[in-house]
């Protein structure tokens, strides 16, 4: 058994662990970091992703602080035309590979153990195991253990469906669809997409863009979802007016509403949130971002099944708890039921900084890499856990229209706390993962006249804060009661 020594032992080389390490290296020039991950390559769940997945947010604020991910141009074709690019999964993997091989490892301060599982600790000694070698090693951590696995991201390739699949049923995960061309004599007569989330949307868009007629596609959507309109969430320097509109819409809609559901209806009227069917009230909100072009495409699919969850599939039949639907015998069922981030993880919410352990969670919803980088900045620049935790109380991972106002309220409070701190403010201004920091800094430097418009947002937020708090507190109660045991830290 060999012995490793390090300052920080980071579990997970996904978006979260890597955003943390990247910022820590800059902020603490003396530390040594060891990263362990079960995957063979950096990038976490992106290693298991279906080939046509892309970020659903513009790439500009995804990744790590030290490396750009996004070309500074707009897409000219397809459903994202006119908007800034969304990195496809191959680009994301290449990005994280480059980060590891050209920045982290050459720094001489990072050791990376792929195909390695963190097993746990016996007091001060942490145990890791090479997955293929079976060899165990111990690791002495001089400073802290950093848990980059809190989100427990789930993707179709590693997710087991909860319904029965009868023998002889044609069944696929999204990643298998691009190979359909290899067997043209055996193409399906019909396709059924199972799932109501972003993976199902991506899959349905892929089928339509690949040329499958809309009337050959069925879609099981137990619940409909509201989605952010991507047009309003473009890189801040290029679209600050849209971001201002987005923020103003959120707080004004909160003031005008008695419930989260009403708030979404109002945001829908303003074009800030989008849905797939005007006649259905969505109950779900998982922070998905979509373009108007994608929504137009998806509306072409008319066979939508809302009978609840599928219990069994078999050739030519699909069963729900109290109904069976007949389908063409040669239907291909596509499983899109994995929840990217299982919302049960909120059970594990606690302080970011707790003695010798840092648990990377959300400081601002849904800014996953920014939150991890912020934790690294706080770790390196503030002394006590109390100081650090006061600057980043964990944000609530809400999952429904009823509870989202709680996340809106928490984000505004977090912004107020963070922007009240001079050191954090200065760091935000140069942090590319921050949605507005560097853009505003650049505008100030250039004396941009758009700053005048931006300056009015503070007054609008202040004027609407009573409404935000009223609705947010009611949503907080629903959120906490919807899963006994969960408590805001």
Ligand X SMILES: Cc1cc2nc3c(=O)[nH]c(=O)nc-3n(C[C@H](O)[C@H](O)[C@H](O)COP(=O)(O)OP(=O)(O)OC[C@H]3O[C@@H](n4cnc5c(N)ncnc54)[C@H](O)[C@@H]3O)c2cc1C
Helices and strands in the chain, H and E counts: 13, 20
Binding mask 30-59 for ligand X (x = CB under 6 A): ------xxxx----xx---x---x-xxx--
Strand partners for 314: 317
| Site for ligand X contains 217 (CB under 6 A) | no
Cα(first)–Cα(last) distance of the chain, in Å? 39
Cα separation of 225 and 277, whole Å?
10
Find the binder of ligand X among 93, 220, 368, 439 (CB under 6 A): 368
Is position 334 an interface residue for ligand X (rule: CB under 6 A)?
A: no
Q: How far is the CB of 420 from ligand X (least distance, A)?
A: 25
Using CB under 6 A, which of the segments 5-13, 240-248, 290-298, 472-480 binds ligand X? 5-13
Report CA Rg, the chain: 23
How many C-beta neighbours within 10 Å does residue 489 have?
12
Question: In the set 137, 153, 225, 335, which binds ligand X (CB under 6 A)?
Answer: 153
Find the shortest distance in angstroms from Cβ 64 to ligand X: 11
User: Shortest approach of ligand X to residue 14 CB, angstroms?
Assistant: 2
Please report whether residue 11 would count as binding ligand X according to CB under 6 A: yes
Q: Rank residues 173 and 318 by Cβ distance to ligand X and give the closer one.
A: 173
Site for ligand X in 91-150 (CB under 6 A): 117-118, 148-149
* Residue 56 or 432 having the CB closest to ligand X: 56
Using alpha carbons, list the distances in angstroms from residue 287 to 43, 198, 470: 21, 9, 22
Select from 9-17, 162-170, 173-181, 255-263 the region that touches ligand X (CB under 6 A): 9-17
Q: With helix as H, strand as E and coil as C, how does 191-232 read?
A: EEEECCCHHHHHHHHHHHHCCCCHHHEEEECCCCECEEEHHH
What is the sign, positive or negative, of the torsion defined by CA atoms of 201, 207, 210, 215? Answer: negative
Residue 341 C-beta: closest distance to ligand X, Å: 5
Cβ count within 10 A of residue 450? 15
Contact residue for ligand X among 17, 161, 174, 394 (CB under 6 A)? 17
Q: Mark the segment that binds ligand X (CB under 6 A) among 13-21, 73-81, 100-108, 157-165.
A: 13-21
**Site track for ligand X across 182-201, x = CB under 6 A:** -----------------x--
Residue from 341, 376, 391, 407 binding ligand X (CB under 6 A): 341
CB of 107 to ligand X, least distance (A): 20
Segment 291-330, which members bind ligand X (CB under 6 A)? Answer: none
Q: How does strand 353-354 pair with strand 357-359?
A: antiparallel
Determine if 247 is a binding residue for ligand X (CB under 6 A): no
Nearer Cβ to ligand X, position 304 or 340?
A: 340
CA dihedral sign, ordered 104, 345, 347, 59? positive
Shortest Cβ distance from residue 199 to ligand X (Å)? Answer: 6
CB of 92 to ligand X, least distance (A): 8
Contact residue for ligand X among 6, 10, 12, 253 (CB under 6 A): 12
Nearer CB in complex with ligand X: 85/366? 366
- Among all chains, which residue has been given the structure tokens 């109904």? 323
- HEC profile of 320-361: ECCEEEECCCCEEEEECCCCCCCHHHHHHCCCCEECCEEECC
- Per the DSSP assignment, residues forming a β-bridge with 228 are 273, 289
* 418: three-class secondary structure by DSSP: helix
Q: Confirm or reject binding of residue 151 to ligand X (CB under 6 A).
A: yes
Q: How far is the CB of 56 from ligand X (least distance, A)?
A: 4
Q: For ligand X, give the closer residue by CB, 39 or 109.
A: 39
Contact 349, 406 (CB under 8 A): no
Closest to ligand X by CB, 15 or 276:
15
Q: How many CA atoms lie within 13 A of 252 on its CB side?
A: 16
The CA-based angle 23-25-30, given to 5 degrees, is 145
- Minimum gap (Å) between residue 201 Cβ and ligand X: 11
CB nearer to ligand X: give 89 or 190: 89
Choose which of 284, 304, 340, 380 interacts with ligand X (CB under 6 A): 340
Residue closer to ligand X (CB basis): 53 or 239: 53
Tell me the window of 10-18, 223-231, 399-407, 410-418 that interacts with ligand X (CB under 6 A). 10-18
The burial of 185, by beta-carbon neighbours within 10 Å (0-12 exposed, 13-18 middle, 19 or more buried), is given as exposed
Q: Starting from the edge strand earliest in sequence, which strands make up the sheet with 190-194, in order?
A: 170-172, 331-335, 190-194, 217-220, 303-305
Question: Which residues here bind ligand X, judged by CB under 6 A?
Answer: 11-17, 36-39, 44-45, 49, 53, 55-57, 62, 117-118, 148-149, 151, 153, 155, 199, 340-341, 366, 368
């Amino acid at each position: 058994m060999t012995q490793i020594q390090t300052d920080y032992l980071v579990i997970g080389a996904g978006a979260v662990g890597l955003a943390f390490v990247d910022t820590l290296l800059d902020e603490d020039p003396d530390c040594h970091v060891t990263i362990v991950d079960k995957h063979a390559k950096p990038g976490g769940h992106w290693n298991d992703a279906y080939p046509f997945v892309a970020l659903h947010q513009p790439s500009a604020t995804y990744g790590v602080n030290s490396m750009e991910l996004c070309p500074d141009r707009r897409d000219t074709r397809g459903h994202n035309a006119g908007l800034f690019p969304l990195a496809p999964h191959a680009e994301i993997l290449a990005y994280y590979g480059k980060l590891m091989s050209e920045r982290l490892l050459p720094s001489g301060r990072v050791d990376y153990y792929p195909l390695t599982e963190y097993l746990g600790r016996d007091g001060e000694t942490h145990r890791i195991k090479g997955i293929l070698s079976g060899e165990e090693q111990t690791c002495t951590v001089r400073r802290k253990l950093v848990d980059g696995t809190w989100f427990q991201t789930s993707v179709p390739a590693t997710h087991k469906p909860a319904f029965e699949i009868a023998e002889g049923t044609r069944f696929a995960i999204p990643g298998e669809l691009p190979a359909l061309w290899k067997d043209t004599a055996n193409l399906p007569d019909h396709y059924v997409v199972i799932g109501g989330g972003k993976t199902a949307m991506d899959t349905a868009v892929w089928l339509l863009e690949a040329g499958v007629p809309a009337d050959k596609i069925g879609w099981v959507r137990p619940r409909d979802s509201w989605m952010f309109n991507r047009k309003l969430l473009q890189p801040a320097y290029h679209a600050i007016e849209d971001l201002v509109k987005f923020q103003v819409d959120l707080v004004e809609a909160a003031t005008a509403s008695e419930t989260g559901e009403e708030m979404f209806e109002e945001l829908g009227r303003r074009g800030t949130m989008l849905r797939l069917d005007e006649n259905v009230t969505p109950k779900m909100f998982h922070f998905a971002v979509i373009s108007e072009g994608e929504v137009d495409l998806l509306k072409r699919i008319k066979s939508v099944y809302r009978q609840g969850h599928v219990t069994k599939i078999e050739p030519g039949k699909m069963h729900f708890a109290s109904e069976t639907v007949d389908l063409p015998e040669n239907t291909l069922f596509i499983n899109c039921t994995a929840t990217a981030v299982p919302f049960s993880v909120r059970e594990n919410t606690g302080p970011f900084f707790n003695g010798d352990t840092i648990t990377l969670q959300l400081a601002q919803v849904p800014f996953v890499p920014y939150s991890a980088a912020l934790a690294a900045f706080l770790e390196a620049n503030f002394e006590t856990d109390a100081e650090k935790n006061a600057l980043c109380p964990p944000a609530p991972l809400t999952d429904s229209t009823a509870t989202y106002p709680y996340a809106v309220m928490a984000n505004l409070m977090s912004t107020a706390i963070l922007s009240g701190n001079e050191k954090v403010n200065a760091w935000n201004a140069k942090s590319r993962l921050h949605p507005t920091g560097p853009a505003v800094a650049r505008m100030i430097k250039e004396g941009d006249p758009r700053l005048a418009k931006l300056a009015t947002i503070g007054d609008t937020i202040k004027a609407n804060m009573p409404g935000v708090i009223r609705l947010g507190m009611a949503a907080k109660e629903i959120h906490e009661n919807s899963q006994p045991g969960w408590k805001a830290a």
